[in-house]
């Protein structure tokens, strides 16, 4: 931290940090679309009768990144969907019995990002999370 930043009040430092996050938000929207595009591509290449452990690990890694980043940029619904997808793929290379749930997660995540749903998605977001919880 520079000496000028050290002299700022906590509120001023927080405002600067928030401004920096907002500046990155436009870049993140593009990154979010790229990450979900990669997720869709991996899912499309996955053998649905016997998903490979490699594909499941790649899906988990992308979902984990989305879970960790999306909320910081105002995409709380994406974070929740990605967290659910992480749970489905965590430590389970044989997800063949979970294929319908995985498919639903990828398709819903794609729609949420395509429609640029920010925040928690309101009532629709709550319904989505409830639906995913029953899979």
For the chain, 135 residues long, give each residue's pLDDT as a single digit of tens. 445 666 888 888 888 877 776 776 668 889 999 999 999 999 999 999 989 999 999 999 999 999 999 998 999 999 999 999 999 998 776 777 889 999 999 999 999 999 999 999 999 999 999 999 887
Q: Alpha helices, DSSP H only, in the chain?
A: 3-6, 10-45, 53-69, 76-89, 99-114, 122-133
Encode burial over 4-37: b for 16+ CB neighbours within 10 A, e otherwise. Answer: eeeeeeeeeeeeeeeeeeeeeeeebbebbeebbe
From CA 10, how far away is CA 119, in angstroms rounded?
26
pTM: 0.82
């Amino acid at each position: 931290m520079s000496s000028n930043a050290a002299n700022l009040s906590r509120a001023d430092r927080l405002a600067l940090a928030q401004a920096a996050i907002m500046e990155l938000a436009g870049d993140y929207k593009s990154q979010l679309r790229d990450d979900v595009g990669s997720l869709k591509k991996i899912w499309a290449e996955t053998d649905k009768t016997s998903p490979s452990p490699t594909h499941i690990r790649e899906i988990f890694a992308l979902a984990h990144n989305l879970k960790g980043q999306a909320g910081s940029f105002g995409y709380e619904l994406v974070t929740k969907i990605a967290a659910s997808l992480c749970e489905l793929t965590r430590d389970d290379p044989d997800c063949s019995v979970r294929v319908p749930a995985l498919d639903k997660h990828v398709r819903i995540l794609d729609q949420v990002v395509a429609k640029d749903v920010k925040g928690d998605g309101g009532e629709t977001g709550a319904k989505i999370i409830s639906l995913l919880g029953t899979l």
